A and B are shown apart, each in its own frame.
Chain A
Amino acid sequence: MNALARAADLAGTILLLLGCLQCLLGVIGMLRFPDVLSRSHAATKPQTLGMLLVLVGVGLRLRHGTDVGTLALIVFFQFLTSPVASHLVARSAYRTGQTGSRGLLRDDLDPQLSDGDGTGGQP
């Protein structure tokens, strides 16, 4: 039992470290990517994978039924709510034209937004 507990502690520690690494990579991505939409790709890392790893790590160290239940609840609500926020950020970034200095290689959305008034949108 003791060996099992130590193994769980070790695994929890490793997962915590991996989660922190994900968060660090997310921050580096935020610094390196030039525009809002690209940054949102990197910003998802700490929000989902990073948090999942950290919470599983915490769960492995706590090893108590209700605590693990609460952690699962956190994961559930985080997974349910964070897409709403990131969608709103991406949507407003797109509509205010913050698509990067080089523009988009291909844009399927613009013709739909300009509602086919004959002229079409900027490529």
Chain B
Amino acid sequence: MSNLFRDRSPYSWSFRVGRGRRILDLPLVGWLTVIWILLWGTPSWANLVNGVLVAVCLCLAFPLPAVDIGLRLRPLGILRLGAYLLYDMFSSSVEVTRQIFARGPYHAAVVAVPLRVRSDLVLTATAVAVSNVPGGSVIELRRATATLFLHVLDAAEPGEIEGARQRVWRMEELVARAFGTAEDIADAARPVPEGEPPP
């Protein structure tokens, strides 16, 4: 059972239907069924059967390409990521509140943060996590260099820019440990790039 969450991709639970690229992805069918039941609000056998039917019909009618995006589900990592997100949300919220009521105009900056992991999934998930935290605003993403461009509110304050970059790197590591492959985790454990990037 722990194999499902450790080494194998969830996509190894899919099988081909007929010819062509129609693929029945069992985790996807399960997830769609859960959503169906939650939306109806009453867990009953009728809802379960209907949900499975609708999910299978959807998967057959709108086939998705069978791409391994490198998603692994690591329960412990997901818990740690969730806990850190909650903590970060509260602490950043206090910080933004302080900035709202502080006097004087700000001198903002746009800062590039090069990530260490070259995986689309980790890049996307990191950007989503960073922008869900108050005070995190992602302006632009570069896929080729895996770079995130952040808007930092109070850049004139010393340490603010470096702090923002450190937070992104911390988030990247946690995301890789929650959803990444073993390779991603090894990438994320490397030391962060030193020094200022060329302006």
Q: Decide if A25 is an interface residue (CB 8 Å cutoff).
A: yes
Q: Decide if B96 is an interface residue (CB 8 Å cutoff).
A: yes
Interface string of A29-48 (1 = CB under 8 A from B): 10011100110111011001
**Inter-chain contact A90/B38, CB cutoff 8 Å:** no
Pick the contact of A109: B38, B101, B110, B128 (CB < 8 A). B110
**Inter-chain contact A48/B140, CB cutoff 8 Å:** no
Pick the contact of A83: B37, B100, B128 (CB < 8 A). B128
Pick the contact of A38: B42, B139, B153 (CB < 8 A). B153
**Inter-chain contact B96/A42, CB cutoff 8 Å:** yes
For residue B132, give the distance in angstroms from its CB to the closest CB of chain A.
Answer: 5
Q: Decide if B18 is an interface residue (CB 8 Å cutoff).
A: no
Pick the contact of A108: B41, B89, B97, B111 (CB < 8 A). B111
**Inter-chain contact B127/A87, CB cutoff 8 Å:** yes
Chain A residues with CB under 8 Å of B39's CB are 70, 73
**Inter-chain contact B109/A105, CB cutoff 8 Å:** yes
Q: Residue on B with the closest CB to A69?
A: B38
The docked-state distance in angstroms from the alpha carbon of A79 to that of B81 is 14
Interface size class of A (residues with CB under 8 A): 35 or more
**Inter-chain contact B38/A107, CB cutoff 8 Å:** no
Q: Decide if B121 is an interface residue (CB 8 Å cutoff).
A: no
Q: A44-B132, A91-B139 are in contact. Are A105 and B153 (CB under 8 A)?
A: no
Interface string of B96-122 (1 = CB under 8 A from A): 110111000111111110000000000
Chain B residues with CB under 8 Å of A1's CB are none
Q: Decide if B5 is an interface residue (CB 8 Å cutoff).
A: no
Q: Which A positions have Cβ atoms within 8 angstroms of B?
A: 22, 25, 28-29, 32-34, 37-38, 40-42, 44-45, 48-49, 52, 65-67, 69-70, 73, 79-80, 82-83, 86-87, 90-91, 94, 99-102, 104-112
Name 6 interchain pairs, CB-CB below 8 A, sorted by A.
A45-B134, A49-B93, A101-B105, A106-B161, A107-B109, A108-B149
